[in-house]
Structures are given as structure tokens and as C-alpha cells.
Amino acid sequence: MQTTALHTAHGSEAAAEGGLVDPFGRSVTYLRVSVTDRCDFRCTYCMAENMSFLPKKDLLTLDELDRLCTAFISRGVRKLRLTGGEPLVRKNIMHLVRQLGRHIGYGLDELTLTTNGSQLARHAEELADCGVRRINVSLDTLDPEKFRRITRWGDFSRVMEGLDAAQKAGIAIKLNAVALKDFNAPEMPDLIRFAHGRGMDLTVIETMPMGEIEEDRTDRYLPLSKLRTDLEQQFTFQDLAYRTGGPARYVKVAETGGRLGFITPMTHNFCESCNRVRLTCTGTLYMCLGQNDAADLRSVLRTSESDANLHAAIDDAISRKPKGHDFIIDRSNNRPSVGRHMSVTGG
């Protein structure tokens, strides 16, 4: 309680300093926080099968994560998303979720998370109790055998149980599917009907060139402009102004009545409206997913109990937020645009 009071007091002081605005006039109101680089899947487009994970001593403690998130909320962050790796495999993660839930309605509009669904059956009810009203679940195929192949270790039935549990707990679900040529493109109509039939939104995402993996991403890259054209052979789309705070652009599907989102970092980037930054589980703040410039907030946290230095470090980082990313996929340079894996930065 004393720690919470201390952070709240510091947050009140910081709030007087104003919100976080980058050099291009964009207000930073969305923080994505990776709570772990570990995952119980090894999705082929995301991770190598034999990953080397960070030593646990390098990770921020749950209290340090709480302190950092509280500082950002006090500076105008209205939406907080927990990511990983797989966030629900972090030991005692629900303690952090409950701590952060205290900010909902007191500066924070939404606390949410992105998950692979494997641990949802166990945690869905408590997530709802902590104030989580909406989550993203990554699901690239409805075929159990293909699911095992793309995730290497995943159990499709456990994910389905997790979706059931989350919906029973009253949590709204958006499914995320990475569009992969020669893998799940023909399944997209079925994924749309599955999601909308259960009252869930679906967002499709272009694969991003991050981290060394065993395969050539150019073999899997599917422009969403092409996917959309193909889908429009059997569906009628109406563009929507609907936004969730992230980069997806939505359409309404007339035949199902549901929403379909497109995230297109490659064919059409969304940098002009970027309102987010990413914090890793080691306390590194990335101002752009597709750039390597970063700020070390862990050392600031651990060398000072006062939040004044922390806020100064955050201000300095935001002042370096770039205008846009440098993602590119091409065969002439078969290296990822960004060397770190998505699981390190936070999905």
C-alpha cells in the first residue's frame, strides 16, 4: 500500500508536467508492455525453434513494471496492453494485472492483453475481475494439424477452450491472424465466418521482418492489398471509421455483419497516426517497432527511488520518436529489417 501511495503521489506531480507529445505533434497515449520474452509456442514466422531467452535477472520485477506503467499513465497514456512472448506464462502475472487494474477509470481507459490463448482457460475469469474487458488472441488457422505445424508446440483444443472461457467471463475477443502465402490465405474466408459467427472481430496482419528465423520471409509474405482483392470476390466490404487505438483499419463485412481489420505495415504503413511506444520486459523503451533507437529505463528505475529522473528519461525518449519505420522485405537483402525478435519487443 505504501508503494502504491508513493507511485500515485509521484504520478500526480508528473501529471502537472503534461502529456507526452513527440516531435511530429503526435500524442503518445498507448503503451504496449512486454512482460516476458518467453512463450509456450514457437510460431515459425516469429521465433526460431531453439530460442535463447533472457536471464531472469535481466527482467524487470512485477513491481518495477507497475512503477513504469504508472509513470506513463500519469503522463497521459490511456491504453495499456500487456504482451510477450506470451504474457500469461510470466510467473505471478495476475498480481501485475490486478495492480494495473486499479488505474482503470483513474487515468487509464483500458487495460488489455495480446495472448496466444493457451493459458486463457485458467485465467479468463480473474482477468475479467481485474477490469480486462477486451483481449486479442492470435490464431492463424482453424486446422488443428496446421496449427501444430505453424506454432510447433501449440495445442489447438486448448486455445478453443480459452476462447470459450474468455467469452463466458464476458471478455470481448478480437482474433489476430498473420496472413501467410501458401499457408492460410485460402482459409481467410473460413476465419472470417468463424470469428463473426462467435461475435468476435478479426484482424489480418502482414508478416513483419523482425528477427532471424529458419525460413525466408519473402516466401511467406502476402500483401494485404492482394488478400483484400481476393476476399472481395465473395464478401462485400464497407470502410469504417472505427478505431481501437491501434493501427488496424476496419471494414464491415455485409455477409456476416462483423468487423474485419487490416494491419499493413508493409504495403501501407500507419506511421502518420502512431500514438504508441513499446516497453520490453528488460525496461528498454522502443519509440518505434521498426527502428532500433531505444531508451534504457531499467537503469533509471534501479538507481533512483524518485520518479523525477524516470519522467525526464521518458521525455527524452519521446523527443526521439521517429516519423516512421524502415520495414522492407526483399530477396536482394535476406536479412530482417530489425534484428530483434517480435517476442523481445512485444507483439
Grid cell digits, residue 226: 492482394
Output the known binding site for [4Fe-4S] cluster: 39, 43, 46, 271, 274, 288
The whole-number pLDDT of residue 336 equals: 42
How many other C-beta atoms lie within 10 A of the C-beta of residue 308?
12
The whole-number pLDDT of residue 339 equals: 47
Grid cell digits, residue 330: 526483399
Contact between 320 and 288 under an 8 Å Cβ cutoff? The reply is: no
Output the known binding site for S-adenosyl-L-methionine: 45, 85, 138, 208
Matching residue, cell 476496419: 250
The whole-number pLDDT of residue 47 equals: 66
**What's the Cα-to-Cα distance from 49 to each of 46, 121, 205, rounded to whole Å?**
10, 25, 22
Grid cell digits, residue 224: 494485404
The whole-number pLDDT of residue 8 equals: 44
The whole-number pLDDT of residue 271 equals: 74
Output the known binding site for GTP: 32, 81, 114, 174, 276-278
**Distance (Å, whole) CA 168 – CA 207:** 31
Grid cell digits, residue 64: 518495477
Output the known binding site: 32, 39, 43, 45-46, 81, 85, 114, 138, 174, 208, 271, 274, 276-278, 288
Write down the architecture of domain 2-83+129-345 according to CATH: Alpha-Beta Barrel (3.20)
pTM of the model: 0.84
Strands 284-286 and 30-34, how do they pair? Answer: unpaired
Query: Would you kindly state where each structural domain of the chain is located, as residue ranges?
Result: 2-83+129-345
The whole-number pLDDT of residue 219 equals: 66
Closest CA to 117 of 172, 167, 161, 83: 161
pLDDT in tens, the chain (347 residues): 444 444 444 443 434 458 999 999 999 999 999 999 988 877 777 767 667 778 888 999 999 999 999 999 999 999 999 999 999 999 999 999 999 999 999 999 999 999 999 999 999 999 999 999 999 999 999 999 999 988 888 899 999 999 999 999 999 999 999 998 888 999 999 999 999 999 999 999 988 654 444 455 456 688 899 999 999 999 999 999 998 777 889 999 999 999 999 998 655 556 777 899 999 999 999 998 767 889 999 999 999 888 999 999 999 999 999 887 554 444 445 444 444 444 455 55
